[in-house]
């Protein structure tokens, strides 16, 4: 295992197929990899972003037989981005103004016990974001492709935007205010909302809801909106 002395970042970008664990604490970065792979691992800070990747020129033809493991600690986090097939897990890291979680490709982000005014989960491709026990004034779920966003916890308001065949599942997330769902394509949204549910669908998508909200279905979306168990 190799440690890196880097500080001053509030965002993390994982590029490639590594595995990342993020925990609260003082700034710290450690990497575990095979001896012939370690020289190709790049750990650098670009502005306020910690970038974790492999040097493609150096590492060409050298393929790990087990995933590169990154262990990162920091006082607070604002943005976590996974590009590729990597996997990232965040546990109990404080969030200041808001939290943005982005997956490009087939990667995965899992966050436990996040509290923030606004949480944004953005998936482009076939990846997924999982939020366990989130507490947010507003949760935004954006899926472009066949990806998935799953959330439990509580939120004041919820915005879901699906383009493609993606799945948003938050029947374990109590939305105390309003939820707005827009689907273009064959996507599915499963939500729990108490006050108001606004739905707009262009395609064969469906919305299933839990709770007793006032439902406003735009255009012909009404036939594609159903109560859970109904």
What is the C-alpha separation between 127 and 147, in angstroms, rounded?
5
What is the C-alpha separation between 222 and 209, in angstroms, rounded?
13
CB 203 within 8 A of CB 186: yes
Q: What pLDDT was estimated at residue 79?
A: 98
Token pair of 218, please? 């735009």
Q: What pLDDT was estimated at residue 84?
A: 94
Q: What pLDDT was estimated at residue 230?
A: 53
What is the C-alpha separation between 54 and 141, in angstroms, rounded?
30
- CATH code: domain 95-230 is 2.160.20.120
Token pair of 168, please? 């948003």
Listed by start position, the domains of the chain span 1-57+67-75, 95-230
What is the C-alpha separation between 221 and 205, in angstroms, rounded?
9
What is the C-alpha separation between 188 and 147, in angstroms, rounded?
11
Q: Could you list the pLDDT tens digit for every one of the 230 residues in the chain? A: 899 999 999 999 999 989 999 999 999 999 999 988 888 899 999 999 999 998 876 556 677 778 899 999 999 999 999 999 999 999 999 997 899 999 999 999 999 999 999 999 999 999 999 999 999 999 999 999 999 999 999 999 999 999 999 999 999 999 999 999 999 999 999 999 999 999 999 999 999 999 999 999 876 665 688 887 65
pTM: 0.94
Q: What pLDDT was estimated at residue 53?
A: 94
């Amino acid at each position: 295992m190799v440690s890196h002395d880097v500080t001053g970042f509030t965002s993390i970008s994982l590029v490639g197929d590594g595995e990342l664990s993020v925990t609260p604490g003082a700034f710290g970065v450690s990497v575990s990899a095979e001896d012939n792979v370690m020289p190709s691992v790049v750990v650098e800070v670009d502005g306020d972003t910690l970038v974790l990747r492999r040097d493609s020129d150096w590492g060409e033809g050298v393929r790990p037989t087990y995933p590169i493991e990154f262990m990162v600690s920091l006082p607070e986090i604002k943005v976590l981005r996974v590009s590729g097939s990597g996997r990232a897990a965040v546990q109990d890291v404080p969030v200041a103004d808001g939290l943005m979680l982005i997956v490009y490709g087939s990667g995965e982000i899992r966050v436990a016990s996040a509290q923030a005014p606004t949480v944004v989960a953005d998936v482009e491709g076939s990846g997924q974001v999982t939020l366990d026990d989130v507490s947010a004034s507003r949760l935004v779920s954006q899926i472009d492709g066949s990806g998935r966003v799953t959330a439990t916890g509580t939120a004041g308001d919820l915005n879901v935007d699906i383009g493609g065949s993606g799945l948003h599942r938050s029947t374990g997330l109590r939305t105390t205010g309003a939820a707005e769902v827009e689907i273009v394509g064959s996507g599915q949204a499963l939500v729990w909302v108490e006050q108001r549910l606004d739905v707009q669908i262009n395609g064969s998508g469906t919305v299933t809801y839990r709770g007793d909200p006032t439902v406003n279905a735009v255009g012909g979306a009404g036939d594609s909106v159903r109560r859970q168990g109904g």
